[in-house]
Amino acid sequence: MVRPFAVFPDNRNRSLDVVGERITVLASHALTQGYELFLQEGPEGSGPVPHTHPWDESFYVIRGEIQFAVEAQEMTAVPGTLVHVPAGTAHWFRFGKDGGQMLSVTGVGSRASSMFTDIDAVGSRDVEQLRNACERNGLQIL
């Protein structure tokens, strides 16, 4: 049974280091039994490589400019922009000049919080370990 909850700045989980990005899990699948919600912050140039996963994902830009590619369409998202990526769709993003911040929401079936936790635990830039952490959690690097 899903119970009401509130996450305040002083009681939320620590930010995870996900290959240079700081990702804070605000609501995991374990809490919601459905979606997951994250606060993502990154320095200029950071962001994931092209990938797909079997869950929907939406991004809401709070600060900075973020370059997105969804399949063959590239766009620059500014604060107030919402980008939705359906399950199975190839995508990537890069934080622009001076970095940025956004909320991301993943849909039913998401294992993103588990993946981010695994990547943080790897604590290295070893490509094979990172790939394994992603694949264990349903993300396919392209």
The set of residues, in sequence order, having a beta carbon less than 8 Å from that of 29 and lying 6+ positions away, is 35, 36, 110, 111, 113
The confidence score (pLDDT) of residue 22 equals 97
What is the CATH topology of the domain spanning 16-141? Jelly Rolls (2.60.120)
Mean per-residue pLDDT of the chain: 95
Helix or strand (DSSP H, E) at 127: helix 127-136
Per-residue pLDDT reduced to its tens digit, 89-138: 999 999 999 999 999 999 999 999 999 999 999 877 788 899 999 999 99
Per-residue pLDDT reduced to its tens digit, 48-73: 999 999 999 999 999 999 999 999 99
Q: What is the CA radius of gyration of the chain?
A: 14
3-state helix, strand, coil in the chain (%, to 5): 20, 40, 45
The answer to whether 106 and 124 are in contact (CB under 8 A) is no
**pLDDT > 70: what percent of the chain?**
99
Q: What does the block give as tokens for 131?
A: 């790939």
Question: Is the pLDDT reported for residue 14 higher than 80?
Answer: yes
